[in-house]
């Protein structure tokens, strides 16, 4: 059985973009039709996905550091989150 490849998904411009984390190939889907965007658009999608991944890693590191000093993340009344 073939192993599923890990794919990052980003939605923008009415398309759903899929980026292969192993090969970096970008495909775009709209209404069930799969296409491959030009290289300029593909590079932008790769940058957005990479930025999102870096932000996620940084957020997890910050959360782990805060939890290690016994702080708890809580949701405020106006919808924000803070540590106490």
Q: Tell me what pLDDT residue 5 has.
A: 64
pTM: 0.64
**How far apart (Å, rounded) are the C-alpha atoms in residues 37 and 26?**
7
Q: Would you write out the chain's pLDDT as a tens digit for each of its 84 residues?
A: 445 566 778 787 788 888 887 777 888 888 778 888 888 888 888 888 888 889 999 999 999 999 999 999 999 888 888 899
Give how far the C-alpha of residue 70 lies from the chain's centroid of Cα atoms, to the nearest Å: 28
| 82: DSSP letter | E
Using CA of residue 30, residue 35, residue 39, residue 45, what is the dihedral sign?
A: positive
């Amino acid at each position: 059985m073939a192993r599923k490849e890990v794919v990052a998904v980003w939605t923008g411009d009415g398309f759903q973009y899929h980026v292969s984390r192993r090969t970096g190939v970008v495909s775009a889907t709209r209404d069930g039709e799969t296409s491959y965007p030009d290289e300029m658009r593909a590079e932008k999608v790769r940058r957005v996905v990479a930025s999102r991944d870096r932000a996620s890693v940084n957020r997890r590191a910050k959360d782990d550091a805060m939890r290690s000093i016994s702080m708890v993340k809580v949701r405020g009344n106006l919808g924000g989150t803070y540590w106490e």
